[in-house]
Amino acid sequence: MKQYISSISLLVKDYDDAIEFYTKKLHFLIIEDTKLEENKRWVTISPRGNNSCHLLLAKAIGKEQLTAVGNQSGGRVFLVLYTDDFWRDHHEMSEQGVNFVRPPSKEVYGNVAVFEDLYGNLWDLIEPNDYGGKIFCCHCIACCL
């Protein structure tokens, strides 16, 4: 059996504002943008270099969903963006006005900084270290040792 996560839904207030943020400030690619109904689209985006898992931009409808926009993980880091060049991406994102809420630091698993998207969801930007041939998959590193 083969399984994988293809998409993660990300609640947004507006499709076009979210597309602009992710494509202009983070340099993501639009994988698909299909109109389904008058006010509903199927919009998937992904980072350049690997599109095995997409973000599905889901327009929030109703009070409950609107309140969750920007706080889908209760204030914790929600998504992790790996990079092959931390300082290149940190510099480009900073120039584009991306707000880093925690400054860069060198940790045992690699270089990391926390930024927020246009709605306030927190992201880690990580360039992982190669530790004895293993790439750390998370902050805890316990599972990787």
The pLDDT tens digits of the residues spanning 81-123 come to: 999 999 999 999 999 999 999 999 999 999 999 999 999 999 9
Domain 74-145 sits in CATH at 3.10.180.10
Write down the pLDDT at residue 47.
Answer: 95
Label residue 131 by pLDDT band (50, 70, 90). low
Name, in order, each residue with C-beta under 8 angstroms of 3's C-beta and a sequence gap of 6 or more. Answer: none
Write down the pLDDT at residue 57.
Answer: 98
Cα 27 to the center of its chain, rounded Å:
11
Give the CATH H-level superfamily of domain 1-69: 2,3-Dihydroxybiphenyl 1,2-Dioxygenase, domain 1 (3.10.180.10)
For 141, counting Cβ atoms within 10 Å of its Cβ (0-12 exposed, 13-18 middle, 19+ buried), the class is: middle
pLDDT over threshold 80, residue 143: no
Indicate the domain borders of the chain: 1-69, 74-145
The pLDDT tens digits of the residues spanning 27-81 come to: 999 999 999 999 999 999 999 988 789 999 999 999 999 999 999 999 999 999 9
Q: How many CB atoms lie within 10 A of CB 130?
A: 9
Query: Going by DSSP bridges, is the β-strand pair 40-46/7-12 parallel, antiparallel, or unpaired?
Result: unpaired
